[in-house]
A and B are shown apart, each in its own frame.
Chain A
Amino acid sequence: MEILVCVKRVPDAAENEIEVNRDGSDIERDDLVYSVNEWDNYAVEEAIRIRDKVGGSVTVVTVGDEDAEEVLRREMAMGADNGILLSDAAFAGADGRGIAAILKAAVEKGKYDLVFTGALADDGAGQVGGMLAALVDWPYASVVNSIEILDDSKIKVGREIEGGNHEINEIDLPCVLSIQTGINEPRYVGIRGIRKVASVEIPVYGAADLGLSAEAVGARVSRSDYFVPVLGAGAEILEGSMEEKIDKLIELLKAKGGLK
Chain B
Amino acid sequence: MAGQVFAYIVHKNGVADDTAMELLAAAAKIDAGVPVTAVVTGAGAELDGVCNTLTASYPEVWKIDNPALAYPNAEIIRKALVNILPAGAIVLLSYDTFGMDLGPGLSIKLDSAYVADAVDFEGVDGSRLKVVRQEYSGMVSTHVLCDLSKGAVLTCRPGSFQPVDNTAAAGKVVDKSPDAGDLTVKRRYIQVVEAEKGDVDITKSDVLVSVGRGIEDQENIELAEDLAQSMGAVVSCSRPIVDAKWLEKARQVGTSGQTVKPKVYLALGISGSFQHLGGIKGAPFIVAVNKNPKAPIFQVADVGIVEDILEFIPELAEKIKGSK
B166 contacts partner chain A, Cβ-Cβ < 8 Å: no
- Among candidates B106, B139, B298, residue contacting A13 with C-beta atoms closer than 8 Å: B139
> Which B185-243 residues sit within 8 Å CB-CB of chain A?
185-195, 206-207, 213, 231-233, 239-240, 242-243
In the complex, identify which listed stretch (B28-36, B37-45, B57-65, B307-315) lies at the interface while the others stay far away: B307-315
Nearest A residue to B188, CB-CB: A170
Nearest A residue to B132, CB-CB: A229
On whether the beta carbons of B294 and A19 are closer than 8 Å, the reply is yes
Residues on B with C-beta less than 8 A from A119 are: 100
B261 contacts partner chain A, Cβ-Cβ < 8 Å: no
Nearest A residue to B195, CB-CB: A164
Residues on B with C-beta less than 8 A from A246 are: 312, 315-316, 319
CA distance A83 to B100 in the complex (A): 28
B299 contacts partner chain A, Cβ-Cβ < 8 Å: yes
A258 contacts partner chain B, Cβ-Cβ < 8 Å: yes
On whether the beta carbons of A234 and B298 are closer than 8 Å, the reply is yes
B104 contacts partner chain A, Cβ-Cβ < 8 Å: yes
Chain B window 131-148, contacts with chain A (Cβ cutoff 8 Å), 1 for yes, 0 for no: 011111101111111110
CA distance A189 to B215 in the complex (A): 22
Chain B window 286-302, contacts with chain A (Cβ cutoff 8 Å), 1 for yes, 0 for no: 11100011100011111
Interface of A is mostly: mixed
A11 contacts partner chain B, Cβ-Cβ < 8 Å: yes
Residues on A with C-beta less than 8 A from B188 are: 169-171
In the complex, identify which listed stretch (B84-92, B107-115, B167-175) lies at the interface while the others stay far away: B107-115
On whether the beta carbons of A165 and B194 are closer than 8 Å, the reply is yes
- Among candidates B107, B233, B243, B294, residue contacting A182 with C-beta atoms closer than 8 Å: B243
CA distance A126 to B117 in the complex (A): 9
On whether the beta carbons of B104 and A223 are closer than 8 Å, the reply is no
A191 contacts partner chain B, Cβ-Cβ < 8 Å: no
A23 contacts partner chain B, Cβ-Cβ < 8 Å: no
- Among candidates A27, A134, A223, residue contacting B109 with C-beta atoms closer than 8 Å: A134
B48 contacts partner chain A, Cβ-Cβ < 8 Å: no
Given the interface contacts A134-B104, A246-B316, does A163 sit within 8 Å of B207 by beta carbon? no
On whether the beta carbons of A139 and B116 are closer than 8 Å, the reply is no
On whether the beta carbons of A165 and B195 are closer than 8 Å, the reply is yes
B53 contacts partner chain A, Cβ-Cβ < 8 Å: no
- Among candidates A18, A159, A224, A243, residue contacting B97 with C-beta atoms closer than 8 Å: A159
- Closest approach, in angstroms, between the C-beta of B66 and any C-beta of chain A? 18
CA distance A123 to B144 in the complex (A): 12
On whether the beta carbons of B303 and A252 are closer than 8 Å, the reply is yes
Residues on B with C-beta less than 8 A from A14 are: 213
On whether the beta carbons of A163 and B140 are closer than 8 Å, the reply is no
> Which A197-228 residues sit within 8 Å CB-CB of chain B?
220-228
On whether the beta carbons of A163 and B258 are closer than 8 Å, the reply is yes
- Among candidates B97, B140, B259, B323, residue contacting A142 with C-beta atoms closer than 8 Å: B97
On whether the beta carbons of B107 and A131 are closer than 8 Å, the reply is yes
- Closest approach, in angstroms, between the C-beta of A145 and any C-beta of chain B? 9
CA distance A236 to B78 in the complex (A): 46
- Among candidates B100, B116, B190, B293, residue contacting A169 with C-beta atoms closer than 8 Å: B190
Q: Assign chain A's interface to a size class.
A: 35 or more
On whether the beta carbons of A162 and B255 are closer than 8 Å, the reply is yes
A168 contacts partner chain B, Cβ-Cβ < 8 Å: yes
Residues on B with C-beta less than 8 A from A123 are: 133, 135
B320 contacts partner chain A, Cβ-Cβ < 8 Å: yes
- Among candidates B134, B195, B305, residue contacting A237 with C-beta atoms closer than 8 Å: B305
A181 contacts partner chain B, Cβ-Cβ < 8 Å: yes
CA distance A226 to B142 in the complex (A): 4
Residues on B with C-beta less than 8 A from A224 are: 130, 142-145
Residues on A with C-beta less than 8 A from B288 are: 235
**Which residue, of B97, B98, B245, B259, has the highest number of chain A Cβ atoms within 10 A?**
B97
Residues on B with C-beta less than 8 A from A235 are: 286, 288, 298-304
A62 contacts partner chain B, Cβ-Cβ < 8 Å: no
- Closest approach, in angstroms, between the C-beta of A41 and any C-beta of chain B? 11
Residues on A with C-beta less than 8 A from B300 are: 235
On whether the beta carbons of A253 and B305 are closer than 8 Å, the reply is no
10 nearest A-B pairs in the assembled complex, by CB-CB distance: A260-B232, A130-B104, A164-B195, A235-B304, A258-B264, A134-B108, A134-B105, A182-B243, A139-B186, A235-B301
Spell out B's residues near A (CB within 8 Å). 73-75, 78, 96-98, 100-109, 113-117, 130, 132-137, 139-147, 150, 185-195, 206-207, 213, 231-233, 239-240, 242-245, 249-250, 252, 255-259, 263-264, 266, 285-288, 292-294, 298-307, 311-312, 315-316, 319-320, 323
